[in-house]
Amino acid sequence: MPSATTSVYDQIEALIPEDSPLRGMTSLEDVQSWVAATELIELDRTRLNPVFGVGHPQADLMVIGEAPGADEDKQGEPFVGRAGQLLTKILQAIGFERSDVYIANILKSRPPNNRDPKPDEIAAHIPILHKQIALIQPKLILCVGRTSGTSLLGKDSSLKDMRGTFHDYHGIPVLVTYHPAALLRNGNWKRPTWEDVQLLRKRYDELTT
């Protein structure tokens, strides 16, 4: 657990390389502008739009996906395609509107053909996510998809092994569940996802009331 002198969010900020310009930024707007103007990986050159994040800038719940798809690349906003519509319905089913939470991805640029992010791409982009978490200061994080969970938590685990329980991320509880796109492919995963998000809502209420 964090010491009395170092906050959870200070610890996450400290994960950002010391020479990164992100260190000195004090607003999401500054970070978003820097991301839009900076090429960290090849995908930043080939994207149509950076997909930075959207939602409440002081959200208590943060939702983290893997990487943008074609719809997100076109619109510059995370989770706007079919999977995004399903995510919105899942959140509404446990009492959240999209505007209540903050939604971001591990990668801010779309991989070709929606392939999984590569380790070097994750390493280059995850400091941006660390800065987002440090600025937003969520009390709870939901990772959707295996890559989201393994990238944030630094675990090489299957989604089956990660889901259904909370993980500690520098003092922030993190729940990992199926990506909405996976639910569109396999309806059998809808029930475990529903069980997961009910756990999420229960912990959220405990932390915020």
Q: What is the pLDDT of residues 71-126, one digit of tens each?
A: 999 999 999 999 999 999 999 999 999 999 999 999 999 999 889 999 999 999 99
4-8, 41-45, 172-176: segment of lowest average pLDDT? 4-8
- Tokens found for residue 11: 């610890």
Residue 162, sorted as left (phi over 0), alpha (psi -120 to 50) or beta, turns out to be alpha
- The pLDDT of residue 114 is 84
CA dist., res. 160 & res. 138, Å (int): 25
Retrieve residue 131's tokens: 């800065």
Q: Which residues are 166's β-sheet partners?
A: 175
Residue 209 confidence (pLDDT):
85
- Residue 6, pLDDT above cutoff 80: no
- Write out the CATH class of domain 8-208: alpha beta
pTM: 0.95
Are 173 and 138 contacting, i.e. CB atoms less than 8 angstroms apart?
Answer: no
Radius of gyration of the chain (CA): 16
| Percent share of the chain, pLDDT over 70 | 97
Secondary structure (DSSP) of 195-207: HHHHHHHHHHHHH
Convert the pLDDT of each residue in 68-82 to its tens digit. 999 999 999 999 999
Rounded Cα gap, residues 103 and 159, in angstroms: 20
Six-digit token string for 106: 């591990």
Higher pLDDT, 36 or 113: 36
* Amino acid occupying residue 127: P
The mean of the pLDDT values for the chain is 95
Structure tokens at 47: 């994207």
